[in-house]
Structure 1
């Protein structure tokens, strides 16, 4: 006899069209109602996930929480999923997803003594293929989703085998009936479901009023109870849970369709909407990862207490911001502001944690040298970083003389190329100094920078390039041409190989949509390129009222790098682009500042490469994936790369997730000025009121990227490049006390393709967690050293495999551990 597993739930967005306070009160109401129905209807079982909602119940109605604990013991209430909340499943890095699962597991194990084996993300807008390995290592073998819908699959079956990285796989149920039911309509909807799935030997049916909670109603439970009795001779319809459904499915040993890629695309507009949230989320991710490494080293080497509570609170702020209507930008303007405020809370916590740790890590450093200034750069990674590093210090004393003090610096006692650039302040005294050095930073260590100053006649000025045919930058490793008439890059050569076509790095406005989740028009006629401002327009935009300056100009130059600025405009918007060209490297950084005042319009950045055929890759959780390249909007994490097997062009970002490529033209999506929580639904239009309606992204937005061109082996190093660019060295201007002694580095890893994703206090407070992953898809054995403890441990990893190690400081043992250690 066919069995149908009824999974009653109440999908409840903590935030979306409402703020978290309303999400909290709705959780109280929904849980109160569902608990009462478990008494009124003897066979009824309620399912719910998301620890954050249970925490709100525990804090605000503890008596109800106790009753729910009892119902879980009785089997009338099922803890489903077991995560902290349902996040976006594309943009958070793998560490964030692990923390989400860990936070939920610890809560549910402590309060209910349960650990689910079926993961639940009903409403997330797609799912990264990197998630599969995380699920396996966290104890999950099954997964329930609603997106992508069946129209995006070449098969109709709702159950399929999803294969991920490093040999991982989970059995997925795609709920085609979605996760919600209409109040009072469950009986009719279930009848239709039974007809649609009559050929299935066993079925799973999600029901319950959702989005704003609600769950079961008395009328729906009454209708379902009646239907169960009426169909009893032909069907066994039972109130159930996801684990019971999958147990029955697996026992049948059915052959399933196989999917071996990310479950994307879904709601592609959400890869870009509310970009401030995305950028600040990335920043907090980076600050937590760097801060944990610093705090771990400070405790292990110098006895500074690990600030577990502060870091934990910052992590929880990060996790809430990753909710699938917060990070994707589909919430209201109030939700956007609340999320930014929460992220700022986490960043403030980490700023205090990181400062304390950094000061502790300067133990053994001599006090400042007479007549100099001093800064310390902490490299959080177990490998040296060579590059250009900028920081600010003050002069030893204010300069009131008619001259300009120019810096020269040494790093770890060795003099290095140095230049001065425009400082952050515009104060009238020559006092603050922005110093840029070219140096190699020692791994997992404080790197000391001593700065001296030489008096020169005045602040440096730079050559005019507007009258040149092309501005050519050639450092012997790469040659870049910038067109003074367009402000765009016309050529980028490494050696004799050309990587770009003329007109690269062009900002383009594309006719968009007010739909927060939606896409924009891809037709050529829907695109208008920004153009270079006239000299008069550019000078006015720059606030230069006493002279007219060219809109393409060198604004910084010295021994370390050259910076070229270009000013553009279109319609009601303007922007600046700064090409940052190092004197001894093959990469280029670009900073963009946009002053945006457009409705329903997308800003993309077009880069026509010299390679018209190839493979477009993007970073996913603990790995990489080949992405679509017919102009579709795709999502990736810290980097994208375009390669034809011989040549490679990489783009590392500081918090931009959406992009596309077509015929070798890369389009990096910067912003999307849609309406807030605006969508079409069943021909009902939003934004139809005759009034001014605020769109997203109005005002100033900033973006940062690092580009590199070279041979195919650039792909072997792009993950390390992206890690060092995002988790950048921590900078502290400090006159060290001279107390204490220097210690050996905390950790070293000898293989460039094996990265440390986390180095932190273990979740139970005993020992430390060290997490590694292989980043290129190649089986590797790496030696992990803890020099301060005299420990060296070989670790074998399959391609893209995650390995979690536990370090016991008492026994000085480093051993494999559970992912959620």
Structure 2
């Protein structure tokens, strides 16, 4: 039949591809396989310390997370003479071949790993031996993990371990055929498509019998079409090899270290074979692990970096969650991340690399620009559920007006197969192709690591200028951004947060980790301030080395599958153990440091000093050794408790009352219903009710939640499981506080709340202890307030966002769950109510109702998520005026940063100068916050970080309690910008950093 239909031709062509794949390798000899199995990894020097197992294909060697050192032995038979020999190895796990010193050489992965197969097959099983291996003896060691790329268990049995012949002509033909076949499926009707289909059909007719001779004939036929080049491009795709590695997710951190070795050794192996190959990897933490555990591999990586074929990417220590991480923590992510790459590789990072995090704080653009980072790459917004993000290339503007150039790869993945379909999708989907001629493609196997395989690189070698596809250039992402930068004048600007319409559950899941994260951020701030006081007193006792270590581990746990709560059980067991140790050590260092400061401040043994690390004077009551003192502590300073007024145990404010259904002081009166909820919160000073009449506040509602760690049902409000039931309540006046203690129960879970109204407080505090045992449930608490506003004010890092309380359209509807840090607030011009928290991040505000997501217990990937004892505090703060006039931000900081009491050191210490000051730093503008005081990275100077909190222009003087020789402004990398004048002028939400020379 001389005129076959196109359908018949394509069907015949498609049938050839699997036959070609099967014909590439011919096993010629089995290898002897021995494994030594252990529960945890052991070094190469101890490789035979485990339980020995002799294996043949089908034999079992381990269970999930077992480790083993494998030994492969064999001889390459004479039949391989003059032919390319390989080893085919699949242990149904991840494997890293090592050299005679135990250094990684190549990573292998089981073929049946969990993955999105539409992007390709993730397995790697082939080890090249070369053309002159006949007669060689094989004696090879490999480090194995009994898990696939995504932590799944795949039988724990040996699948294959063979020496095989690779028929190179057939292998090359396979990729010729695959690329053209896929090209044909994506070409429009026309002459080019007809010719490609005909060539495939003609080649298929030669391949009824597949051998090297027919393969050569078929390649000659296909070569004519592969050789046809494109014309002048309308779009050029920059391709860079990538292997996104989650530092913990469905595997523990210890396995990530090994994943890094497997992935990076494979990259180096492929670079030897493919001279055009350019690869990039982010996260200094990962490089640091390679340096510590695999120094020889690390040295080889450094060589490729210097050569320019390996790009170090990203400007942060890890790829962190940017919703929950605090502002100063994000600064340290950039500071420590950029410094590492500069010091280790001499590379200045210009690109923020965050392909996979769950939303992007509107504070980020300013942090980036003030750190010398001009560009940002992500693709996660392609996961939006209801609304398509309008651009792939755009300028992203933050809350302060700073802009960075952002790009979202139009293929909407960082796991590109690098196939014709990839290029076709980029060309078709690029939302800004009308004004941009450049797009980025990230190809390779990611999430669980692995990176590009030969299939990716073979495809790209055929596609670089293939007629019918946009041309591909293998180059660094920085080279791509430099080209994109030339086009940015025509790009649109997108202002505000980049909200991801998925994964809102991560604002709440694994509440204990989030509690510790907040406590670590605040404790590190306190320790740095305390140590800075010592520096100002002339004692160089700053714990730089230990602080650096604790900061880096804290930043590690902010990785976007640890802090958001979306990892397996073991990850959280290990992080909670480390959090407890780090928090304990940080508190110990704070106590020791303040004790020494107290001694230098002239406090005698037995006396105590009260410290205030916030930049405003605080009048509060502190308790020391069972006694209460009314103290007035200067801004960022201290006062001797001997100067404070003891609180009389007999004199109590006559307005302070505590009854089973009432708490009251001179400012507030709180009335409770029989079920324990709040019926009324009357602001006596303002003369108005804060709770909406007829509605109840502090209602603890339990919802069915059949989501996972990432997502809960959007219609959760329609699936109320019940409310926590009040079982007991007791009221008392305790230490100048009116306290109502309530005991609640739901199912097997209990919650004890101490609702506290201090004698002179304007906030009501809810000190909560929950023993949560529910499964697939979510606990929320709501406050319907008598305030009407179209927007809720939400604190984020270094400022706030106004978010709609309306649900007028799909954008507003889908953003029902919102992230905030220390407060959210509903305000009218004359009045408002704020909701404060010490560790919660998931909120909702619809019309007049503010709501906190307290706990949720999904089953996946951690089947015991949040089934534990939790402690947390939230507070309600009614106020006159709007939230700016009421200084709500200060209330949030005060809730999270209590005054600290310390006694002088008991142990003898060297005499130092007595402090001649009681306040280290004072700012004159009420809306300028001092976020951090620390020692400079490269000197004994102090770094002072300030920002404007209210979104207005502000001018402030900054006074120091000690003599200073010079003050200069620096960027976030602590590089000098210029001398600082007598006053600092702030743009709205602007961050400024000062270097103070003592």
The answer (yes or no) to whether the contact 2:460–2:472 under 8 Å persists in 1 is no
Match of 1:491 in 2: 681
Map of 2:796 onto structure 1: 620
**Partner deviation per Cα, 1:491-512 (whole Å, 9 max, x = no partner):** 3324211111342111100111
Is 1:705 matched with 2:941? no
Alpha carbons 2:614, 2:635 under 8 Å: kept: yes
Q: Distance in 1 between the 2:958 and 2:389 partners?
A: 45
CA spacing shift, 1:229–1:777, aligned 2, 3 Å: closer
- The answer for the alignment partner of 1:443 in structure 2 is 635
Aligned residue for 2:861, secondary structure, equals coil
Whether the 8 Å contact between 1:505 and 1:607 is mirrored in structure 2 is yes
* Alpha-carbon contact 2:592-2:905 (below 8 Å) kept: no
CA distance in 1, matches of 2:784, 2:848: 6
- Which residue of structure 2 lines up, in the alignment, with residue 642 of structure 1? 826
Find out whether 1:804 has 2:804 as its counterpart. no
Check whether the contact 2:465–2:471 (CA below 8 A) recurs between aligned residues.
no
The answer to whether structure 1 residue 741 and structure 2 residue 914 are counterparts is: yes
Contact 1:653 1:706 in 2 (8 A): yes
The change in CA–CA distance for 1:108 and 1:531 in structure 2 (over 3 A counts) is closer
Matched, 1:78 2:311: yes
CA deviation vs aligned residue, 1:60-80 (integer Å, no higher than 9, x gap): 222222222222222211111
- Flag the 1:511–1:252 CA change in 2: closer, same or farther, 3 A: same
Give the Å deviation of 1:340: 1.6
Which range is displaced more, 280-289 or 198-207? 198-207
| Distance 1:169-1:452 versus aligned 2 partners, 3 A rule | closer
CA distance in 2, matches of 1:453, 1:747: 29
Give, in whole Å, the separation in 2 of the partners of 1:733 and 1:602.
Answer: 43
The equivalences for 1:474-485 within 5 A come to 474-475=665-666, 477-484=667-674
| RMSD (Å), alpha carbons | 2.6
SS of 1:804 mapped into structure 2: strand
Match of 2:704 among 511, 520, 525: 511
Asked if structure 1 preserves the Cα contact closer than 8 Å seen for 2:464 and 2:472, the reply is: yes
**Match for residue 668 of structure 1?**
852
Alpha-carbon displacement from aligned partner over 1:35-73 (angstroms, at most 9, x marks no partner): 222221111100111111111112222222222222222
1:205-604 map, 5 Å: 205-231=441-467, 235-265=470-500, 266-363=502-599, 374-391=607-624, 393=625, 433=626, 435-450=627-642, 465-466=659-660, 470-471=661-662, 473-475=664-666, 477-484=667-674, 486-494=676-684, 495-501=686-692, 502-522=695-715, 524-533=717-726, 538=727, 551-558=728-735, 560-604=736-780
Q: Which residue of 2 aligns with 1:685?
A: none
> In 2, are the aligned partners of 1:783 and 1:793 still within 8 Å (CA)?
yes
**Partner-residue secondary structure (3-state), 1:56:** helix
Distance in structure 1 (CA, Å) of the matches to 2:422 and 2:648:
80
How far has the Cα of 1:637 moved from its partner?
A: 1.3
What is the CA–CA distance in structure 2 between the aligned matches of 1:385 and 1:573, rounded to whole Å? 38
Kindly state the Cα deviation for residue 487 of structure 1 after the two structures are TM-superposed.
Answer: 4.5
Residue number in structure 1 paired with 2:182: none
Structure 1 Cα separation of the partners of residues 648 and 368 of structure 2? 58
What is the rounded CA distance, in whole Å, between the counterparts of 2:711 and 2:399 in structure 1?
29
SS in structure 1 at match of 2:952: coil
Counterpart position of 2:953: 779
Taking a change above 3 Å as real, the CA distance of residues 75 and 441 of structure 1, as seen in their structure-2 partners, is same
1:789-808 CA distance string (max 9 Å, x none): 16894211111000011011
Q: 1:79 to 1:584 in 2, by over 3 A?
A: same
1:261 deviates by 1.5
Q: Deviations over 1:186-222 (max 9, x none)?
A: 4543444345448662221111100011111012211
Please identify, of 279-288 and 444-453, the stretch whose mean Cα deviation from structure 2 is larger: 444-453
Is contact 2:375-2:481 (8 Å) kept? yes
Of 398, 408, 412 in structure 2, the residue corresponding to residue 174 of structure 1 is 408
Q: Deviations over 1:209-258 (max 9, x none)?
A: 00011111012211221222534x86431112222222222223552232
Q: CA deviation at 1:304?
A: 4.4
Number of matched pairs: 722
Give 1:168 deviation, angstroms: 0.1
SS of equivalent to 1:143: strand
SS at match of 1:340: helix
* Inter-partner Cα distance in structure 2 for 1:43 and 1:337: 43
Q: Is the 8 A contact 1:619 1:637 kept in 2?
A: yes
Deviations 1:81-129 (A, max 9, x none): 1321100011111110111111111111111111121111001000000
Of the three residues 29, 52, 55, the one matched with 2:288 is: 55
TM-score (norm 1): 0.83
Q: CA deviation at 1:569?
A: 2.0
Q: Are residues 1:157 and 2:348 paired?
A: no
Distance 2:638 2:879 in 1: 31
Counterpart selection for 2:941 from 743, 767, 776: 767
Compared with structure 1, are the counterparts of its residues 21 and 625 closer, same or farther at alpha carbon in structure 2 (3 Å cutoff)? Answer: same
Structure 1 equivalent of residue 213 of structure 2 = none
Instruction: Determine the structure 2 residue equivalent to 1:26.
Output: 259
Give yes or no for contact 1:486–1:531 (8 Å, CA) kept in 2. Answer: no
1:93 aligned residue (313, 316, 326)? 326
Deviation track 1:243-293 (CA, whole Å, cap 9, x = no partner) reads 222222222355223221211144100000000000100000000001101
In structure 1, runs of 5+ residues without a counterpart are 394-432, 457-461, 539-550, 679-693, 810-821
Partner residue, 2:893: 723
DSSP-derived class of the 1:119 partner: strand
SS of the residue corresponding to residue 148 of structure 1 reads helix
2:139 alignment partner in structure 1: none
Q: Following TM superposition, by how much is the alpha carbon of 1:660 offset from its aligned partner in structure 2, in angstroms?
A: 0.4
**CA radius of gyration, larger in:** 2
Could you say what secondary structure the match of 1:310 adopts? helix
SS of residue in 1 equivalent to 2:317: coil
1:53 alignment partner, SS class: helix
Kept after mapping to 2: 8 A contact 1:639/1:650: yes
Q: CA–CA distance in 1 between the matches of 2:319 and 2:371?
A: 16
Q: Which runs of 5+ in 2 are unaligned?
A: 1-232, 651-655, 808-812, 966-980
Give distance in 2, aligned partners of 1:615 and 1:219.
52
1:438-466 deviation digits (Å, cap 9, x = unpaired): 4322223333335989999xxxxx99844
**Aligned mates of 1:484, 1:366 — CA distance in 2:** 53
Give the stretch that moved more between structures: 489-498 or 35-44. 489-498
Q: C-alpha offsets along residues 402-457 of structure 1, whole Å, 9 cap, x if unaligned?
A: xxxxxxxxxxxxxxxxxxxxxxxxxxxxxxx3x4444322223333335989999x
Cα distance, 1:102–1:453 mapped onto 2, change above 3 Å: closer
Q: Could you tell which deviates more after superposition, 34-43 or 266-275?
A: 34-43
SS at match of 1:296: helix
> Once the two structures are superposed, what CA deviation does each residue of 1:381-401 show, in whole Å capped at 9, x if it has no partner?
23211234344x2xxxxxxxx
Contact 2:628 2:647 survives alignment (8 Å):
no
Cα 1:113–1:185 change in 2 (3 A) is closer
Distance 2:328 2:866 in 1: 28
* Alignment partners' CA distance in 1, 2:603 and 2:309: 66
Distance 1:445 1:26 in 2: 48
